[in-house]
Chain A
Amino acid sequence: MNLTLHVWRQKNAQADGRLETYNVADISPDSSFLEMLDELNEQLLTSGQEPVAFDSDCREGICGMCSLVINGVPHGPDRGATVCQLHMRKFTDGDAIWIEPWRAKAFPVLKDLICDRTSFDRIIQAGGYVSVNTGSAQDANALPIAKPAADKAFEAATCIGCGACVAACKNASAMLFVSAKVVHLAELPQGQAERQKRAKDMVQQMDTEGFGNCTNQYECEAVCPKEIPADFIATLNREYVRAGVTASE
């Protein structure tokens, strides 16, 4: 396959960026999208040019590192998959492809297609955990958990923290990410003690980081590689207001 790529190039966080156009030839349709970019980089490297910087690590759709907006859609056209799981057979010979980084104030671009997502870590720091020190746990089977609750918690916990929800949201809101963690822990008995404080603190941190406001457009859910449903956001809305009205502190 021969393709024209319009790739966002930006030297560093301070510099202005621009789209650059590259051509790649003889791409195997069995290649993954990232392997196609590897080939572009190989081409650039051998001619002494700077390769395109992009994040990727596990390349099997679970680490959440890869983060490309392809033709305006985070993770590209395949639903329920990260961009490392996208294969070139989804494109047609001769296609022009636009490749951009996640765009949000809370995800500043560091270089080319790489952005800084530590704001997500800080949201987790604000309350996305159960406060249990190592060694103080009771026997794992001492507390039965109904299977539906355990399954729902699991569904929420599948979030890989890639940030596609933010990248896709017209307002760069992080509600799907936050709701996934809040729902995960709110469903489990272990998460009850800090349930209200968690919802409050995580939302407050989300706001502080400069994410936008949710306007219920569900773009997040459409691009989520783990297909986390926007219903969780509804739950978060409820959890948050309940916490805001009744929390003891």
Chain B
Amino acid sequence: MTPRNSTLDARVPPGPLENKWERFRRDMKLVNPANKRKHKILVVGSGLAGGSAAATLGELGYEVDCFCFQDSPRRAHSIAAQGGINAGKNYQGDGDSVWRLFYDTVKGGDFRSREANVHRLALLSRNIIDQCVAQGVPFAREYGGLLANRSFGGAQVSRTFYARGQTGQQLLLGAYQALERQIGAGQVKMHSRTELLDVVVVDGRARGILTRDLVTGRVSRWAGDAVVMATGGYGRVFYLSTNAMGCNVTATYRAYKRGAFFANPCYTQIHPTCIPVHGEKQSKLTLMSESLRNDGRIWVPKKAGDNRAPDQIPEDERDYYLERKYPSFGNLAPRDIASRSAKEACDDGRGVGHGRRGVFLDFRDAIQRLGQDEIEARYGNLFDMYRRITDENPYQSPMRIYPASHYTMGGLWVDYHLMSNLKGLFVLGEANFSDHGANRLGASALMQGLADGYFVIPDTLGHYLGGDKPEPVSTDHPEFKRCEDELHDKVKTLLSIKGKRSPASFHRELGLVMWEKCGMARTAAGLKEALKKIPEIRAEFWENLSVPGTNAEFNQSLEEAGRVADFLEFAELMCLDALTRDESCGGHFREEHQTKDGEAVRNDKDFCHASAWEHKGPGQPPVEHREKLEFENVALATRSYK
């Protein structure tokens, strides 16, 4: 398998980093206002990225059709982001700048992202806050009436804007309201409870999609001049994750099967402060804001198999492992480090709670120092949430936490214009791979989704339409029929297996394999094992799946089966990528590549690139293309949080 890089042109504008976006805007093609309404744009997904894109494209006058599988665009999983959104505003005068936000993001991504994209993200971050405030997003404010900021995820400046613990919700509602305004004005047609099931490619361009109406089961063809995909991440490949039940890889994976390259699927982020698994039947994990780590101390018993209650374990028999290993950052060590350390402690048999997969997050000292009232003021809602879920009182006994899959940095490969290698397919937000490299900083996901949707796509899409002037295509084109026939065959097969096992049971089985072998720490041997195991699960899936009912009705099992089928294929690609990337970086930790202290060891000589995978047809191994990452403005450094 020889990697190729001939086909990947990132189309980064020339010139100094600071001027690249301006340079692009200077040279970009425009679409005449009267012509915009002649262009139909299909926006798939209505979260922060898709919703803001659909709204803005509608405002500009394009004819937009927007699709989401939920019952309303307001439900997209962007809503669950708690912490905040970064912006290089420097309102606190503490030395922040666009450059510093850019640098922190590149460094946080462990030097595996594209410089030019990240710089643009930092630049546009400031406009996002302006836009959102104008929409009425109720950010936290100081008594003087100005916006409040906090430092988040160990950042040295206070650049995070927030709305209590519901920043994602408030930002999404801002985008949702802008979108609804366009729907009311007739500029955007919204298709909720509608799932994308295929991307139709005509003459090498994405020219349409196939959707299934989840209520009636009807499959529809949509032709357009461009497809904008903002369908989120694939964290549910682990089955248990902090993602919503409906989050899936189907849209991006089916685009991949139609020729779009999938980049860096092995980059996943595991969030350290989630509530641990309570049992086999669990469906979903709940994240608690990592702001808890500001005051909570993380520890496990020193002795393996210690069954004493936490208050029975004396101080000198506790291992505050993050403070011990990373004296300067302590409990605020980055997400990947904190997660991996928890896993190591539990692998040692020193974990606590159900299945010994948990560590203590202890507020005893903080309560003594600050008083219970202060802790309640800071974290009251999180403590309540913990108590509701676990039925334990975290004011009295320490919380138990464990890492969980949370965000995926990998996604469809896109160039500087956020266009995939498939012309006319634009990919925004978590669905693309571009801005976070191998690891995402806290409060950066919201920033990226909105930068892509509000500010990047309106310009780059116009440039595409104005420059390439795609020929009209109708849904009568034979390619639509071919794709629809394939789709019907697939659905028919899913319904005709009539086996004994539910789609969820296969998903859970796959998730366990992925979590064990391709989760927080990976080895070549483990990945090979997974690559052997996944096809076996997939084979049984196609023989022993139970999907009652028909296609022509509201059929949640059928929806789920289709998504699980895609996860079962995608998981293999993910393991292959993890195996191929023979280095440790960011969220991708290969046990073979670590210092004797357990630090990740990057290999910049051989792996300073993005791996973009090309589908070669069923049964064929995918082909890797490499986009070399050039760092002209920052020096590749080794992260150190000691």
| A interface residues, Cβ below 8 angstroms from B | 11-12, 28, 30-32, 34-35, 38-39, 41-42, 44-46, 48-51, 53, 55-65, 78, 81, 85, 87, 89, 110-111, 114, 116-118, 120-122, 124-126, 128-141, 143-147, 150-151, 153-154, 157-158, 160-161, 184-185, 188, 190-191
Complex contact A154–B138 (CB within 8 A): yes
Complex formed: what's the CA distance from A168 to B144 in Å?
Answer: 40
- Check A124–B176 contact: CB distance below 8 A: yes
Asked if residues B141 and A145 are in contact (CB atoms below 8 Å), the reply is yes
Instruction: Verify A140–B170 contact, CB threshold 8 A.
Output: no
Specify which chain B residues have a CB less than 8 angstroms from the CB of A157 in the assembled complex: 136-138, 163, 170, 173
CB distance from B202 to the nearest CB of A (A): 30
Question: How near does chain A come to B502, taking the closest CB pair, in angstroms?
Answer: 4
Q: Chain A nearest CB: distance from B51 CB in Å? A: 12
Q: A117's closest neighbor in chain B, by CB?
A: B71
Stretch of B36-44, B125-133, B608-616 lying at the A interface: B125-133
The interface stretch among B3-11, B341-349, B545-553, B630-638 is: B545-553
Residues from chain A with a CB closer than 8 A to the CB of B135 are: 129-130, 132, 190
Contacts A48-B546, A53-B556, A141-B146; is A118 near B391 (CB within 8 Å)? Answer: no
Flag whether B505 is at the interface (Cβ < 8 A): yes
5 A–B contact pairs at CB < 8 A?
A30-B278, A58-B245, A63-B80, A134-B52, A140-B134
Distance (Å) between the CB of B281 and the closest chain A CB? 6
B residues near A117, Cβ cutoff 8 Å: 71-72
Q: B286 on the interface (CB 8 Å rule)?
A: yes
Q: Mark B494-534, 1 if CB is under 8 A from A, else 0.
A: 00001011101100000000000000000000000000000
For A59, list chain B residues within 8 Å (CB). Answer: 244-245, 283-284, 286
Contact of B145 among A62, A124, A146 (CB under 8 A): A146
Which of A51, A89, A134, A150 has the most chain B CB within a 10 Å cutoff? A134
B554 at the interface (CB under 8 A from A): yes
Instruction: Kindly name the residue among A35, A58, A132, A143 whose own CB sees the greatest number of chain B CB atoms within 10 A.
Output: A58
* Chain B, residue nearest A191 (CB): B136
B134 touches A28 (CB 8 A): no
Q: Which residue of B has the minimal Cβ distance to A58?
A: B244
**Judging by beta carbons under 8 Å apart, are A130 and B177 in contact?**
yes
Docked complex Cα distance between A176 and B141 (Å): 26
Q: Which residue of B lies closest to A28 (CB)?
A: B279
Identify which of B151-159, B178-186, B300-308 touches chain A: B178-186
User: Which of B286, B455, B502 is close to A134, meaning CB atoms less than 8 Å apart?
Assistant: B455
Known: A121-B72, A134-B131. A34 touches B136 (CB 8 A): no
Please tell me if B487 contacts chain A, counting CB pairs below 8 Å. no
Residues of B in contact (CB 8 Å), total 86
Query: How far apart sit A42 and B147, CA to CA, in the bound complex (Å)?
Result: 48
Determine whether B166 belongs to the interface, using a CB cutoff of 8 Å to chain A.
yes
Given contacts A129-B135, A144-B146, contact A55 B71 (CB under 8 A): yes
**CA of A211 to CA of B79 in the docked complex: distance in angstroms?**
27
**Residues 370-426 (chain B) with a chain A CB within 8 angstroms:** 385, 388-391
Instruction: Tell yes or no: B164 within 8 A of A by CB.
Output: yes
Closest 6 CB pairs of A and B: A144-B145, A125-B184, A137-B134, A129-B177, A154-B138, A137-B130
Please report the C-alpha to C-alpha distance between residue A117 and residue B74 in the assembled complex, in whole angstroms.
11
Assess the A53–B554 pair: CB atoms within 8 A: yes
CA separation between A124 and B168, bound complex, in Å?
19
**A12 contact set on B, CB distance < 8 A:** 553-554
- Decide if B55 is an interface residue (CB 8 Å cutoff): yes
The CA of A63 and the CA of B72, in the complex, are separated in Å by 10
Q: Which chain A positions have C-beta within 8 A of B77? A: 57-58, 63
Quick check: A154 and B549 within 8 Å, CB to CB? no
Chain B contacts of A144 at CB under 8 A? 141, 144-146
A58 touches B164 (CB 8 A): no
A137 to B455, CA, bound (A): 12
Interface string of B250-263 (1 = CB under 8 A from A): 00000000000000
